[in-house]
Structure 1
Amino acid sequence: MSAIIEVSAIEILDSRGNPTIKTIIKTEDGAIGKAEIPSGASTGSKEALELRDNDPQRYNGKGVLQAVSNVNDRIADEIIGMDVLEQAEIDNLLIELDGTENKSNLGANAILSVSMACAKAAARELNIPLYRYIGGLNAKTLPIPMLNVINGGVHADNNIDFQEYMIVPVGAQNFASAMQMASETFQMLKKLLKADGHSTGVGDEGGFAPNLKSNEEPLQYLVDAIEKAGYTPGEDIDIALDLAASEFYKDGYYYVSNNKISNTELIDLLGEFIEKYPIFSIEDPIAEDDLEGWSKITEELGEHIMIVGDDVFVTNEKIFSEGIEKGIANAILIKLNQIGTLTETLNVINLAQENGYNYVISHRSGETKDTFIADLAVATNSGFIKSGSVDRGERIAKYNRLLEIEQELKSNAIYPTW
């Protein structure tokens, strides 16, 4: 047994300059685990609660001093003395201590900071990498990166409705070559946008945020950039989308390009895009409350592409189980802070594996330098990771960590084929 002897949390800032929480766990043998918690902009309505102070005199109400206090004054007393290696026991205690369905008592941000810090301290305690601690001997698959290179929706101040346009180097030989391909394509995209007089400033996740004529024009730019970077669209590099459709859904209709359309019309539009461009994955193509639309798109397009549920599932085992029964989507996005503990997150991943769903480990738009999700992707052999563009330090940190892991694994490392 290695007992936890110290638990401390402080308020820090995320990549958007908003407050978030950092927690440090220390054990009696001197192991230390530190965790910094991200925050989302496009959020599902059923996500676990991110506790904010709502004090207008501090950070426009976004302070997290209450969450910090919950760690220092309430959680610490309960977990000091517990064995840091007993992750499930610690996480279950945190869930019981909170006592609510959506972690609104202690805050999912407070709870997750402790859960992640404990896992990191346990890995240090055993002197093994975090991915090995979480995933065991079978943790050896590097994820294919899904890089958000053009931002729209709530991730950028522009006129593009869809939230993310991603390049996905499916034809790479390994993770290092995947990042080279992505970087070269990203730099080419910048040149093309600049040559056409567009802004090359970046959005929250490091992608460019130009004002373009339509929601289709970014796809044209991506194909052009891939080709001019020396790669073959649909063979070396595919395209993925995240519509975040809940953000432009109201009263049963979707408001796209200043038009009011039905879910059938939206699905038809996406079907046309799939025929014209090498799109292999679309995330949240339908609003979270439009279950009829989800069933339609899964039935019509699910055999051709990966349809990823984010807002509709919110990394929640119960909600995901119901979605599986209804035949919704064929993949799930995994975000630790949507549910609040590592144990619950792993339960959802297990459920995906058991039911033949792909799963994508994901960052949030408000990030920190914490690289936990990189290790989690390898630990669970996820096959895919979203960590933003090849830009901004908090995004690059995750990719750099994966480059390190690939070097550690050497010949045992696997880069999946798709």
Structure 2
Amino acid sequence: MSCFVNCLSEEDQEFSDIKNAAAEFYRANRVPEELERALGELFFQNPEDVHGYLANYFTNLSSQPLISRLNGKERYDSRGQLCAEAEVFCMICNKEKRISSAAISSHLGQKDPFLDWQAKSEERVHHVKTAVHWIVEPLNKMLKEQNPCDQSEVDQKLSNFFMARHREEKEMKEKEEILSTSEQEVEVPCSPPEKKKEKKTDKKKKGGSEKPFCPAEPPEPVLPGCLAIGSVSLAVAKSGAQIKGMPLYKYIRVLKNPEDQGRFHIPVTLVTILSCGKTSPGKLKLLEEVILIPNAGQQVKQIITMTTQLQKEMMRIMSTSSKAGVTQAILSDSGVLPLSLDRPEQALDLITEACNNLALELGTSFNLAMNCAGPDLMDYTKEKYEIATGVYKSPDELVAMYQTLISKYTAVVALIDPLRREDREQWEKLSNVIGQSCVLLSDQTNKPQAPPLPGVTGVIVKHVNEITVSDLITITSEQQGSLLLGTTSNESCDDDSLSDIAVGLGLDYVKLGGLTSAERMTKYNRLVSIEEELAQRGILVSKQYHSPPLFTETEEEVI
């Protein structure tokens, strides 16, 4: 080896780095004479390749990159709210390098758009600061010297850490409740007259003919700091992909199924085209958003072009129309058109009119889904859904209303969260009355471990809070029915990882939001790039579905 090193120094001064690396490796590992002879022969036979080959050769012989430290930072999401970013640093060739970073969306439970906004903001700040503390201190110590390419072990450690903190929080709350109840028993003695009054009211309720109203299920507690778990997990996955020299979508496919490395398909890309509900002007609250469902097999570019044309035509109609319930066309912060409406038919009529003007056949060129946000509409004082300002419907009346809408607008092939989870009887009724013409989807962000609802054939999953990359792989491997990966209303400052995740997991559907927000367009552009790359390599598969609705298990793959 010494003669080989000397030869390098005599030939070219540019070989000095390689010479030093070779000499250091030789002293540390005592290279056998056979290897020394082989390297010498390689150099003399093919000296022009010495820069690339020897550099790569000795790099491959170096130690496996290990996590040297984690760093947490406070960043801002698409709505100007704080989020936590995790950075991963690794030791590579005796140098510390920043490999990747990630920031996922935080989800604090049930939506409460305008009530106690200041308290909600303070709660979010507390969550983010706790997450940053977790990343910088306990998680940093826990994952130091960990192999970033061992995703399952990293995620297991993250999950164990979260569960330990969750148990601590639960025990603390239980102690506080015991103390508070004991103090109340001492301070407030029981009053016999009050007991009699309570019994009378109970008798009235029991004697009524109406079915008892099912109260709201307790919300899933969100542990402060939990979004550190998901952010670190994604950052480690991105680091592993970079170290392995492969795109994130391929790396996730390897994690999910190492033997399945053949072909990929692009998920059917659902695009939000209208924003309604509580956050938009007007009386209508029932529709949170209307979503375009393109036909399977359409390229992402074609979907974006068609949706943009449709959206511009709707804006033109809105700006020139004098119809009641239509305001000037201004895009919301989520990149979609907010409408001032009184009835859901107005939104669907606007889309129909725009399609007619563009010679698009609604129900053939594309279909629609309605995100109804049912869980947020219940007025518990009246025990009815407030579908519009001052307009209330019982669960059975709402089922009848959905049936009428679906029969009139046949292009609507999916309803997302039409009812509360507690109204299981009405979910089953709705599934029976709409039949095969429309499917029911449920957003499981609030209740990730909840039992399936009657009639639901697909669920929406989101990468939020403590959900790790391994959790997403497990969910997509075990879930029965259709899966749709969706975004939250407050996009994180992370780049385009959601598109890679959807492709890598082999999902059939992905929902990326509107076409104007910069954060969402980054994800759409990434999906376009992945599609082009797969097509160039000849490993892109087009999935064809037998007939609408698309959310069915009957499908076949066509190359």
TM-score range, shorter chain: 0.7 to 0.9
Shift in CA distance, 160/397, structure 1 to aligned 2, threshold 3 Å: farther
Scaled by the length of structure 1, the TM-score of the pair is 0.88
Shift in CA distance, 58/362, structure 1 to aligned 2, threshold 3 Å: closer
Asked if the contact 1:42/1:154 (under 8 Å) is kept, the reply is no
Residue in structure 1 matched with residue 510 of structure 2 by the alignment? 385
Matches within 5 A, 1:212-361: 212-251=341-380, 252-257=383-388, 258-277=390-409, 278-301=411-434, 303-311=436-444, 314=446, 316=448, 318-319=449-450, 322-323=451-452, 327-337=454-464, 340-352=467-479, 355=480, 357-361=481-485
Distance 2:359 2:108 in 1: 34
Shift in CA distance, 27/293, structure 1 to aligned 2, threshold 3 Å: farther
Distance 2:263 2:486 in 1: 18
Distance 2:533 2:375 in 1: 40
Q: Which stretches in structure 1 are left out of the alignment for 5+ residues?
A: 46-53
Asked if the contact 2:280/2:340 (under 8 Å) is kept, the reply is no
Distance 1:181 1:110 in 2: 38
Q: Give the Å deviation of 1:348.
A: 1.6
Residue in structure 2 matched with residue 133 of structure 1 by the alignment? 251
Residue in structure 2 matched with residue 26 of structure 1 by the alignment? 89
Distance 2:350 2:89 in 1: 49
Residue in structure 2 matched with residue 49 of structure 1 by the alignment? none
Residue in structure 2 matched with residue 148 of structure 1 by the alignment? 272
Residue in structure 1 matched with residue 78 of structure 2 by the alignment? 15
Of 186, 210, 216, the match for 2:339: 210
Shift in CA distance, 81/61, structure 1 to aligned 2, threshold 3 Å: same
Asked if the contact 2:271/2:514 (under 8 Å) is kept, the reply is yes
Q: Give the Å deviation of 1:416.
A: 3.3
Q: Give the Å deviation of 1:273.
A: 1.6
Shift in CA distance, 302/349, structure 1 to aligned 2, threshold 3 Å: farther
Residue in structure 2 matched with residue 398 of structure 1 by the alignment? 523
Matches within 5 A, 1:143-222: 143-161=267-285, 162-170=287-295, 173-196=298-321, 198-222=327-351
Distance 1:58 1:178 in 2: 36
Asked if the contact 1:206/1:392 (under 8 Å) is kept, the reply is yes
Q: Secondary structure at the match of 1:166?
A: strand
Larger-gyration structure (1/2) = 2
Asked if the contact 1:14/1:368 (under 8 Å) is kept, the reply is yes
Higher RCO (CA < 8 A, seq sep 6+): 1
Identity, in percent, stands at 21
Shift in CA distance, 269/368, structure 1 to aligned 2, threshold 3 Å: same
Distance 2:249 2:266 in 1: 11
Q: Give the Å deviation of 1:254.
A: 1.3
User: Alignment RMSD, CA only?
Assistant: 2.7
Distance 1:393 1:248 in 2: 30
Q: Give the Å deviation of 1:118.
A: 0.7
Shift in CA distance, 80/315, structure 1 to aligned 2, threshold 3 Å: farther
1:366 paired to 2:461: no
Q: Answer with 361-370 or 164-173: which moved more.
A: 164-173
Q: Give the Å deviation of 1:138.
A: 4.9
Shift in CA distance, 172/179, structure 1 to aligned 2, threshold 3 Å: farther
Q: Give the Å deviation of 1:154.
A: 4.2
Give CA-to-partner distance per residue, 1:327-351, whole Å, 9 cap, x none: 4511000101165212112212212
Q: Which stretches in structure 2 are left out of the alignment for 5+ residues?
A: 1-63, 168-219, 255-260, 545-549, 551-559
Shift in CA distance, 240/415, structure 1 to aligned 2, threshold 3 Å: farther
Amino acid at match of 2:386: Y
Asked if the contact 2:69/2:143 (under 8 Å) is kept, the reply is no
Give CA-to-partner distance per residue, 1:115-140, whole Å, 9 cap, x none: 11111111111111111111242561
Q: Give the Å deviation of 1:289.
A: 2.6
Scaled by the length of structure 2, the TM-score of the pair is 0.67
Q: Secondary structure at the match of 2:86?
A: strand
Distance 1:166 1:245 in 2: 16
Q: Secondary structure at the match of 1:268?
A: helix
Q: Give the Å deviation of 1:310.
A: 0.6
Distance 1:255 1:203 in 2: 23
